[in-house]
Each structure stands twice: as structure tokens, then as C-alpha cells.
Structure 1
């Protein structure tokens, strides 16, 4: 049986990724490793810290010790820590947002990125620029923080969070070729954005599809 370890920095990514794995890789066994202090520490510092990177390293080393077939990093805010972990962990590691960043870079030159926290926005923008460079694409990235959305969610007002996000996405879509949703938790809004004039990309579906491709290539 294929075993996948998913490293989470909070509970909100567990269900959407579980649903995608159930749909795309139904035979897989999933081990969820979740430490909600990771994202809190990144947000408090305003950036990825060496201490958080070290903990990501330890969780992925532990996943390898469990003899999993592949590891999925579920959080964009700590994605850059994975780059160094890959030098020490031989188990394949997939970032949830890597495929999304590559797809966005291939769609158009003007890319809009939406987040509710800056600690996710900034690494997502860097990843998109990196993928565009690898594809020899010239891009222009427009960043947007959905002001007040995260605070609304923390206060338990999910409806207000969603409305702020939808307004931010719709407005941004008027000036770009594609909109990227920087956080896994935003993916549930995609079905409500059918009227948006440009593609809106979220990471769970494409990230798990990339996970499946990586597994298939290792089997071969």
C-alpha cells in the first residue's frame, strides 16, 4: 500500500487535502503530521525562521523513518524550508503549491496572487517567479492581501471572511490574466467564483495531482 505523509502547519489544510487524496489516490494510506505552532511562529516573526525550518526538517525526517513513499508539504508559508530538507531527506517531497505556481506562469504574463496573511503571500510570489524563470517566462505579479479576512475567520465569522476574499479576487481579476489563491484554505471558494473572467487557481487539486505523478514515476 502506498503511504503518504502530509506535514501541516494548522488544522485547516487537513480536510481539503484528505478529500483530494481520497479522490485522486484512493488506495493510499495517509499519515497527517500537524503542528499548529509552526504557522503561529512564522506569523509572529513575519517570516520563516531557522527554528521553524528545523522543525519542518525534523518532521520530514520522522516521516522518512516511518518508511512512507512520499511526503507532501501542505503549507506555502514554510515551503521554502523544504528546499534545504530535500538535501538531507531521500524520500521524495512535493510542495502543495509548486504545480499551481508553474501552471500560473504558463497561463499568462499578468499574475495576481491573493492571500489573507503576508507570510503566505510573499513565499508564494517568490515561488511563482522562480517557476516563471525556469520556464523562461516574463511575468508581472500583482499582490493582494484580503484585508480583514483572516481576522474575521479568527473571530468565527467565516461568511465575512469569504465575502472579503471574493470581493478581493473579483476586483483583482479585472487587471490580470490569472488569479492564484495562496492558501489551501481558500480552495473551497473556487466553485463560488464561476463569474470571474480569468482562471482562478488553488493548490489542493493540482498539488495532489503532482503528488500522484511523482508516485507514478517512482513506481516506473
Structure 2
């Protein structure tokens, strides 16, 4: 069973649908803690490390053979707690970052929350070092988009993000830093590749569960 640590309930049906279409038979269990993101935004990701560790332990005690953190703001903190959790802990955006590095040296990180920009840019640079590829990362914040998200206006949220992506120039690839931004990927008209994290992230989580089952 794959446990998923979310900071918004909107991710639950998204990942259930991706499981149904791409990984039938994979057991999922969702854990939602919206306060983790709110505190991380106010105080920084390190401020929630103890709470993240507790959430991971809870997920493992509930049967998780691996945990997928779907929040980019706290993803690095969650990933760093894998040893304490005792199971693989994956951040949903790592496969996306790896694909971005392979797509070209000029990577633009697009986010609706400022707290996500730094962690995602750092992740892209980490993946570039791992791949031995040069990379130039720039970040862009979609002003006003998060207000749509918090108001439940998901269509307006996606449209604003898509418009921001379409306006970008001078980049080889655009990554949508937050899992919630994924619907905008299909609304863009730019010829520049636009990547999102849920589908490849879930695939990585499924692979981790399968590896754990073989090892067990």
C-alpha cells in the first residue's frame, strides 16, 4: 500500500483517478494535513519537521510500504525523514525535475505559492548535478492564482496558470511546481514542454511499493 501525505484534500481524487487509470490494484491511503503547509509558509519548512516525522510514522503504522509527499513546499523535509520513517519517502516532484533537466538547460519553475519556488529550484539543481548536466533555473510566481485556489475556483486557477505559462519565453522547459497546478498543463498553447508532477510522482511511488514487496 502506498501512503500519500497531502496538504490539501483536493489531491485525493486526483491521485485516485491516476491510480485507477495507470496503476490498477495499487492500494492507496491518503493522509491530509492542511496545517503543515500553512505553518511552512509562515515559519519555513524546517518548522514543521517534527510534525512531518510524526505524520510519516502514522502513515507507516497504517500499513504504508512507501510514502509519497505531494506538497512541494515540505517535500525535501519529508524526503529527509525516510530513515526515521523506515520506508521509502518520495517527493512527488522529483521525477518531474529529472525530466526537466533532461529536456534542456533552461528550466523555468512556475508556482502559485512563493514558498514552493525555492525548494523546487533547489530540486532541479540537485537533479542536474546528479545527471551531470548544466542547468539554469529561473522562477516565476503566478500572481493571484492562489487566491483562486483557496476560493475553490479551480477552473480560474488553472486558466491563470496556463496563461502565465504561455507568456514565458526563453526557456527550454516549464515545470508546474505544485501538484495542484497539473490541470493547467492541458490548457497551455505554448510549444515549450510543460511538465507536472502527479502522474510521474505516482508512478515512482508505485515502483517503490513494488520494490518493497519484492524485498519483503
Fold equivalence (TM over 0.5)? yes
1:59-85 Cα deviation digits (max 9, x unpaired): 111122223222111111101112331
- What is the RMSD of the two structures over their aligned residues, measured on CA atoms? 1.6
Of 24, 39, 64 in structure 2, the residue corresponding to residue 68 of structure 1 is 64
Q: What is the TM-score when the length of structure 1 is the normalising length?
A: 0.91
Structural mapping, 1:44-193, within 5 Å: 44-45=42-43, 47-50=44-47, 52-172=48-168, 174-193=169-188
* CA–CA separation in structure 2 for the residues paired with 1:156 and 1:210: 29
Tell me how many residue pairs correspond in the alignment.
214
Are the equivalent residues in 1 in contact too, given 2:46–2:77 (CA < 8 A)? no
Find the counterpart in structure 1 of residue 18 from structure 2.
Answer: 20
Q: What is the TM-score when the length of structure 2 is the normalising length?
A: 0.92
* CA–CA separation in structure 1 for the residues paired with 2:175 and 2:136: 13
- Identify which range, 147-156 or 204-213, moves more after superposition: 147-156
Find the counterpart in structure 2 of residue 32 from structure 1.
Answer: 30
Q: CA 1:211/1:150 → structure 2, altered by over 3 Å: closer, same or farther?
A: same
- Identify which range, 108-117 or 28-37, moves more after superposition: 28-37
SS of 2:83's partner is coil
Are the equivalent residues in 1 in contact too, given 2:158–2:183 (CA < 8 A)? no
Q: CA 1:128/1:103 → structure 2, altered by over 3 Å: closer, same or farther?
A: same
Q: Which runs of 5+ in 1 are unaligned?
A: none
Are the equivalent residues in 2 in contact too, given 1:24–1:212 (CA < 8 A)? no
* 1:158 Cα offset (Å): 3.7
